[in-house]
Amino acid sequence: MEAEVTFLPLARSAKVRSGTTVLQAARKAGVAIATRCGGNASCFMCKVQIEDWSNLAPMKDNERRKLAGLEQSNTRLACQAVLKQGHTVVQLPPDPFRAAIARQLQRQQEEDTLW
């Protein structure tokens, strides 16, 4: 069986075989998701938001333990979320470098308006 994943806000998609993780699908789609643990559910860096989990395999214990307290936030670990079939939409977190630059620019604009 085949699954399709779309990564937002980039609007990039990939078709993959059933059993593929969201992280593997991201790589196929050319989408970078930061990892430090190589997909072993220990670095917590691959968090993504997935609203509809109906096309994903049930969450395993290691992912459930890692995401304790985030159950209501639609958060999944891309390295552990396994695609079954159908179409899944994945919301990527904001790029931390771009967010830092945006904060710095806003600070400078606020300082400039004081002069």
Residues that bind ligand FES (CB under 6 A): 35-37, 39, 41-46, 77, 79
What does each C-alpha distance from 63 to 66, 74, 76 come to in angstroms?
5, 13, 8
| Least Cβ distance, residue 113 to ligand FES (angstroms) | 41
| Least Cβ distance, residue 52 to ligand FES (angstroms) | 20
Please name the residue ranges forming H helices in 30-95: 61-66
| Least Cβ distance, residue 35 to ligand FES (angstroms) | 3
| Residue among 36 and 87 whose Cβ is closer to ligand FES | 36
CA distance 9 to 94: 9
Q: Please count the helices (runs of H) and the strands (runs of E) in the chain.
A: 3, 5
For residue 44 the two structure tokens come to 């917590």
| Residue among 19 and 108 whose Cβ is closer to ligand FES | 19
| Residue among 2 and 71 whose Cβ is closer to ligand FES | 71
CA distance 62 to 66: 6
| Residue among 10 and 45 whose Cβ is closer to ligand FES | 45
